[in-house]
Structure 1
Amino acid sequence: KKKKKLNKHICVHMYKKKKRTVVGIRCSDGVVLGVEKLIHSKMLVRDTYHRIFTVSKNAGIAIAGVLPDGRQLVNRAREEASSYKRNFGVEIPGKILAQRVALFVHAYTEYWHLRPFGVSCLVATCDENDGPQLYLIDPSGDCRKFQAIAVGKGQQPSRVQLEKIDFQKITCKEAVNKVAQIIYSIHDDVKDKPFDLELSWVLNDSKKLILLCSFVYLVGALKTKKIHVWTNDRHVFVPQDVLSQAKDAGVKATQDEESDDEDA
């Protein structure tokens, strides 16, 4: 049993070293999640590979670590959310969801015939009573609430940048660019494989989200109009135009850092 326990600790330590960077920011109007998603093959169909998942109408989970283990936690979270909705008729509060998933994770550290989950996950939720919330669940089953947090290989430099943010003022639209800048800045193009940026959010005031959409009228003219998108505190991936702007901001920030280093 002692040998098995030692192997568990070694296993978790190795998982921690391998997991990619995940960043979450709780904003004035919601929560933003961002993931450094490595592309292991040029032939990969990217829509089939995700590290951010929706587990209920108003909650999402971002996975850092072993992806199959992460999917197991996602399925557990979906079961908890579905059971709560079926029993009480409302969406599960973020605090309860995070605590129940954390208890499930902790149970796998208690028995010799089970190994701990090789993941840390960020849980982003938004509900009427508590508003936007961000939780971290680590492989031990510890669950904590944060204004902003980063986990994974680049967590230390990421947390230094997160500490400079004014969380009372920053909006989700601003945080999306900030998350992109952090992830692009900590990625090592020489040592690491190419990556794709994955971003999602839960908006507390969804009326602020305005998308530009093109409509083709019967006369055949192509026009552009502004429309309001109402998501009702739903967890969704950020729109493609917002994602493109965030990627551009991340690339620009990296180029600025490189030019500053050359000048120095």
Structure 2
Amino acid sequence: MSSTGAGYDYSAGTFSPEGRIFQVEYAKKAVENSGTSIGIKCTDGIIMGVEKTLLSKMLVPGTHRRIYAIDRHVGLSMAGLVADGRQLVNRAREEALNYRKNYGCSIPPHLLAERMGQFVHYYTLYGSIRPFGTAIMLAGYDQDTKKSSLYMVEPSGVTYSYRGCALGKGQQSAKTEIEKYKLFDMTCREAMKYVAKILNTLHDEVRHPFELELSWICEETNWQHHLVPDNLRDEVNEWAVQSIKEDEMADDDDDDDEDVPVRLKLFPKSAWRPGNLDGVISVIRCAGHGAAPSMPFNR
């Protein structure tokens, strides 16, 4: 009974005999069903990208955002239930504002990530409240250490620091692509194109269209978190779509090349004698229809 959660999933404060908290696992499932979100720590800063699915053609572009500014030096992206994510955005802004009022300086990104992890974890301890159905990424710049950092807070409250991470429906494939392209060794402007390509590759265009959201915090932005300008975002998105089409055409050409040696094995050596054109054509026609090749003949 415990393997299905029956009887043990009514409260976040109840453990199953296997030591599982099903309410937290259900919250993680909400994140996995969301659009893909990617964060990359590049050589000169951090780039974040989100696949924002458009459920209606009447939605105004730019609404229903998944990336927010927390402070001048910190940005947040989310995956999961957007309403839950907005509550975490408000909480993060309160933490940053209170720290500035008390200490007169910006909150360090690692401290903000720890405080957000503690806040999220609090909602997994009591039966009268439920866990947040969202996970967040925090990208920030520490003015004391002069370093940028990327953190992820899971629905359980666990907080990790990453060089590159992904959330949402395509997180496993996105992680593979991040390692494949070695985005850690690129600048934000260079990696931006591949982030757009990964999100376009993983998106299922048949179901719903999507809007690409990109933000960065790097030397080019004076170490402040900003959304990528619309013209630059559209430019990299067009490059990503074109690059995907070129890759698909290259794959089709490779498949055709792989078929040639197989067909050549069907041709008798006698078919390749000089002047034996009819014999070659006869063999090709038979091989193309799966029939046994006929014996070649000379004119």
Q: TM-score range by the shorter chain?
A: 0.7 to 0.9
Cα deviation 1:1-25 (Å, max 9, x = unaligned): 8341366246325403321100011
Length, aligned pairs only: 238
After TM superposition, which residue ranges in structure 1, 4 or more long, deviate above 6 angstroms? none
Residue 238 of structure 1 aligns with an amino acid whose one-letter code is V
1:257 corresponds to which residue? Answer: 247
CA displacement at 1:187 relative to structure 2:
0.9
Q: Distance in 2 between matches of 1:119 and 1:44?
A: 22
2:222 corresponds to which residue? Answer: 232
Matches within 5 A, 1:1-264: 2-5=8-11, 8-9=23-24, 11-128=26-143, 129-166=145-182, 169-190=185-206, 192-203=207-218, 205-206=219-220, 231-263=221-253, 264=255
The answer to whether the 8 Å contact 2:70/2:96 transfers is: yes
Cα deviation 1:164-193 (Å, max 9, x = unaligned): 344563101011111001101111222x31
Q: Distance in 1 between matches of 2:115 and 2:24?
A: 23
Greater mean deviation of Cα atoms: 194-203 or 162-171: 162-171
Q: Distance in 1 between matches of 2:164 and 2:32?
A: 21
Aligned residue for 1:2, secondary structure, equals: coil
Q: Distance in 1 between matches of 2:68 and 2:230?
A: 17
Aligned pair in 2 of structure 1 residues 145, 165: CA closer, same or farther (>3 Å)? farther
The alignment-based identity, stated in percent, is: 39
The answer to whether the 8 Å contact 2:133/2:155 transfers is: yes
Residue 23 of structure 2 aligns with an amino acid whose one-letter code is K
Unaligned residue ranges in structure 2 (runs of 5+): 1-6, 12-20, 256-299
Q: Distance in 1 between matches of 2:24 and 2:224?
A: 37
Aligned residue for 2:62, secondary structure, equals: helix
Q: Distance in 2 between matches of 1:188 and 1:261?
A: 19
1:217 corresponds to which residue? Answer: none
Q: Distance in 1 between matches of 2:185 and 2:32?
A: 34
Give the alignment's Cα RMSD to 1 decimal.
1.7
Q: Distance in 1 between matches of 2:214 and 2:226?
A: 9
Residue 105 of structure 2 aligns with an amino acid whose one-letter code is V
Aligned pair in 2 of structure 1 residues 144, 182: CA closer, same or farther (>3 Å)? same
- The TM-score, its normalising length taken from structure 2, stands at 0.75
The answer to whether the 8 Å contact 1:27/1:132 transfers is: no
Residue 193 of structure 2 aligns with an amino acid whose one-letter code is N
The answer to whether the 8 Å contact 2:183/2:191 transfers is: no
More strand by share: 1
1:218 corresponds to which residue? Answer: none
The answer to whether the 8 Å contact 1:56/1:78 transfers is: yes
Residue 254 of structure 1 aligns with an amino acid whose one-letter code is I
Highest RCO, 1 vs 2 (Cα 8 Å, sep ≥ 6): 1
Aligned residue for 1:100, secondary structure, equals: helix
Cα deviation 1:87-117 (Å, max 9, x = unaligned): 1111111100111111101111111111111
More helix by share: 2
Q: Distance in 2 between matches of 1:10 and 1:149?
A: 19
- The TM-score, its normalising length taken from structure 1, stands at 0.85
Aligned pair in 2 of structure 1 residues 37, 124: CA closer, same or farther (>3 Å)? same
Bigger CA radius of gyration: 2
Aligned pair in 2 of structure 1 residues 10, 151: CA closer, same or farther (>3 Å)? closer
